[in-house]
Amino acid sequence: MRPVRRGPSPLSRDFDDYKDAKAELVSRLGPYCSYCERRIATGLEVEHIQPKSLAAYSALIGSWGNFLLACLNCNRTKRDKEVALAEFLLPDRDNTFAAYQYAADGKVTAGAGLTGRQRQMAQATLGLVGLDKPVEKFEDSNGKMVALDRVAQRMQVWGIAESAKVDVEASPGVEAVRRNVVRTALAEGYFSVWMTVFAGDAEMRERLVDGFSGTRESGCFAVGTAAVVQPAPNPDGLANGGKA
């Protein structure tokens, strides 16, 4: 889950229509779901951290600080669940990249280095948006797997990233190859998959951090090495930030 910085609101007041915040959010965070990390070319939704459907949070419907971006799957799974900020790890205030491990089989699990409390929060966040669901397997008439769900799509992008890594290793020092990897990563999404596959290549990780909008600004990756910074610096001083 890519940590991001949303930054200060572009308005001096709340948005009259929360949907009007979408363009600014995409500009700052990129066209990706803030939870599953998929690139969503169309249909990306303005996601309310605290649900707009609950009367207790009606005052936050147009609040910039309550917005992220979400795909239809993550948003519908989360629905109207209340989010106790101290109980979940959120990409706008915690180092959510450090909180999770990604594997070639598409699974996302709580990171090995977490404390027991952090592990509880990490697992709760996966459940909040359904990222702990098993893969839905489907094969077409030719026996080829079709990526219908988020797990299968992570598996698919993992394969693309592995292929890109082979290209980089086969072309040491070739700038064009490394630039092309970043372009492919931006086109496919799943920042954390790319960062995991290129775990041993600090230069590529630096390029990925810089390439995905809003990531460098989070302060969760050291400049020059892309080493993980823990806990998250939470530069905007968001409530209950820096838990991981």
pLDDT one-digit tens code per residue, 190-208: 999 999 999 999 999 999 9
In the predicted structure, residue 137 carries a pLDDT above the cut 60: no
Cα 12 → chain centroid: 27
Structure confidence at residue 142 as a pLDDT band (50, 70, 90): confident
pLDDT one-digit tens code per residue, 143-154: 765 555 889 899
Beta bridge partners of 47: 68
Q: In whole angstroms, what is the distance from residue 189 CA to residue 119 CA?
A: 25
Tell me the mean pLDDT in the region 61-76.
97
Residues with Cβ within 8 Å of residue 150, at least 6 apart in sequence: 36, 38, 73, 106, 130, 131, 133
In the predicted structure, residue 119 carries a pLDDT above the cut 60: yes
Question: Cα-atom radius of gyration of the chain, to the nearest Å?
Answer: 18
In the predicted structure, residue 140 carries a pLDDT above the cut 80: no
Separation in Å, CA 89 to CA 155, 196, 235: 23, 19, 16
Angle at 24 between CA 10 and CA 230, to 5 degrees: 85
Cis peptide bond upstream of 233, omega within 30: no
**Residue 145: φ, ψ to 5°:** -70, 135
Q: Give, for 76, the enclosing helix (H) or strand (E).
A: helix 72-78
Angle at 106 between CA 87 and CA 108, to 5 degrees: 15
Contact 190, 160 (CB under 8 A): no
One-letter amino acid at 29 equals L
